[in-house]
Chains A and B, each alone.
Chain A
């Protein structure tokens, strides 16, 4: 059985402008020890879909279910959620400085976290554990650095301290929401490695939310591509990069400057992401899609098996077997070149 199984999750927020439908019918699951990558652009619902699971979206209208170790997290009592959050599900966020309290020493914050969930542990033991954790995440001289305040740490060290705190109680699941976005590449490499190492040591499952396909290619086992509050494609890492089905995934990959490639022109996705205030019926990507058909504008395709890889799912009306899909693609490309030549 999966460690976490999210089924048909819907989340909407009431705002001054109207109801924002941030997440619309999202389902996914993750097994122990696995890394699930969630990619998407700003406003795709990638963060909200995981925050809801941990009970961090106050005031939202939520439907669906999220079963974690046999319990539905969406209907759990606040006290139950408190026991799970931190202890069984650890979290790291993008900005480590705003996740650490500036007035308290880093070590104190880790100790507090441990003792909150494990009242039996003495202060002394908790402090020893904090030093041990800081050493594990690669903070030099943890015995002295444990007494530092967050501002005395560099950005990379703060994020490591966050990882230490998130891993303090050996959670079964770690949710990392853009953990390296604010960091430089060399520091990003350090932090990603620390996460991978923790995962190896403790068998933790990791949900990694990012907009960086490079990070996904590095660490994810399975990938969820989100757009407009919906899952567009679900595939394993290799299939996503080498045999993607959904035009949005294709567009994302083509928008990236090829790292080893030549300086040919980039192929961006035209247009803007949709507003989730009043999302149009049908596929949210339809207005920007080069393969768009009449049906796409009125009817949202379901997330169905695509291609030959088991577990590869795509929400698109394009034919799901690769041969006839290639045919459609060829036709669209021809039409495109014809129209640009005529212009």
Chain B
């Protein structure tokens, strides 16, 4: 692997496995007129973070926030627009697919839809054996033995070697995906919504399996999911994304107890808690409107059209992702008006009018009165009637 660029001192810290710096990924879309410039979907826009060895970095965010694009850019399934990805001391952001190939053993991916990522007409044994074939590592009986070892390790019956994916249940199919990713003892596995398609009881089985494998092989995970309680359970550090931006990064427990960014706060309050007492007590923040278009994202802070704390500065100036209110270096938030602990977002109303906040292109407009209007579209605490037993 002498032909791979060695990155300059940036990632000198031996503890760091992956360093992402100012990563940008735009997708061009059809322009609306011949002389008009091409538009871009700003899928991932200037994202930086660091993943330490043996840890799990969780990425949460809603549909269209760019979390999957980010994961696919890191594994170089997408070519990136600009920025730098340093993996294990090597800059992999621009290397060719050919030179990327040896590194693919070390960076693997697990996808959300286990059926969609398995060829239905091939036998499971040959699917899991693919990595060995592609990298010309083992063949014949040796390959079969190694595949069966992997199957056993992830909790599949090695005798089912000759079955087709359709003969397995959802949870078992996800185990097949895990086995395939594990073939070469990778250093990093990017898990893109690995348990979202599974029922809760099966979901817990797969989460435990991933945790066991991490311990056993010293794996590092990037865990992309929209389910906050799952992400909290598995992650050491969590990054929250909104419209292509990283809005907050913090150690898992800190993020969930002392969120700084109002978007994080709103997201946390929206999660239904499987505990009637907690769910009766909490003040739910219901956000205004919908996520704006990533083709023409709002100016300044991208969250400002929906933010209960929005002020003039949020419209004009983009906040930096940095430590706020005396937090440590590992807790950063991109917000001009970060939340203090125990603050109730429901008490806030934007200090700017609706007209200034409508900088969206999708036709989805903020409601006329600007935030605090009627139910379902306003930012106000959920009414909690006492009649619930």
Contacts and interface: CB of A to CB of B under 8 A. Distances in A.
B389 A154 contact: no
A211 B227 CA distance: 14
Given A140-B377, A256-B200, A237 B211 contact: no
A193 to B, nearest CB: 5
Interface in A180-200: 184-190, 192-194, 197, 200
Contacts of A217: 272-276, 279
A188 B382 CA distance: 13
B311 interface: no
A42 B197 CA distance: 10
Given A257-B207, A268-B208, A190 B367 contact: no
A140 B287 CA distance: 14
B276 A266 contact: no
Nearest to A213: B274
Interface in A136-188: 137-138, 140-141, 152, 154-157, 160, 184-188
B203 A255 contact: yes
Given A184-B63, A190-B376, A266-B233, A238 B389 contact: yes
B229 interface: yes
A155 B290 CA distance: 9
A32 B271 CA distance: 28
B214 interface: no
B374 interface: yes
Contacts of A141: 365, 368
B62 interface: yes
B201 A185 contact: no
Interface string B262-273: 000011011111
A132 interface: no
B143 to A, nearest CB: 28
Interface in A268-315: 268-270, 272-273
A327 interface: no
B275 A241 contact: yes
Contact of B202 (A215, A253, A256, A268): A268
A293 to B, nearest CB: 21
Interface residues of B, number: 57
A185 B200 contact: no
A137 B170 CA distance: 36
B200 A138 contact: no
B205 interface: yes
Contacts of A267: 204
A110 B252 CA distance: 45
Interface residues of A, number: 57
A221 interface: yes
A184 B263 CA distance: 13
A259 interface: yes
B229 A188 contact: no
A319 B367 CA distance: 56
Contact of B201 (A140, A184, A269): A269
Nearest to A309: B389
A149 B143 CA distance: 54
B267 A186 contact: yes
A27 B234 CA distance: 39
A41 B364 CA distance: 35
B169 interface: yes
A216 interface: yes
B306 to A, nearest CB: 9
Given A214-B273, A218-B272, A268-B201, A156 B290 contact: yes
B211 A265 contact: yes
A259 B63 contact: no
A267 B200 CA distance: 11
A141 B62 CA distance: 25
Contact of B229 (A138, A215, A257): A257
Contacts of B278: 259-260
Residue of A197, A213, A263 contacting most chain B CB atoms (<10 Å)? A263
Given A189-B382, A215-B272, 14 more contacts: A138-B377, A154-B364, A187-B290, A190-B286, A197-B376, A211-B199, A214-B229, A221-B388, A237-B276, A251-B201, A255-B204, A266-B208, A268-B208, A270-B205
9 contacts: A221-B388, A256-B229, A258-B233, A266-B204, A266-B208, A268-B202, A268-B205, A272-B171, A272-B202
Interface of B: 62-63, 169-172, 199-205, 207-208, 211, 226, 228-230, 232-234, 252, 256, 266-267, 269-276, 278-279, 284, 286-287, 289-291, 363-368, 374-377, 382, 385, 388-389
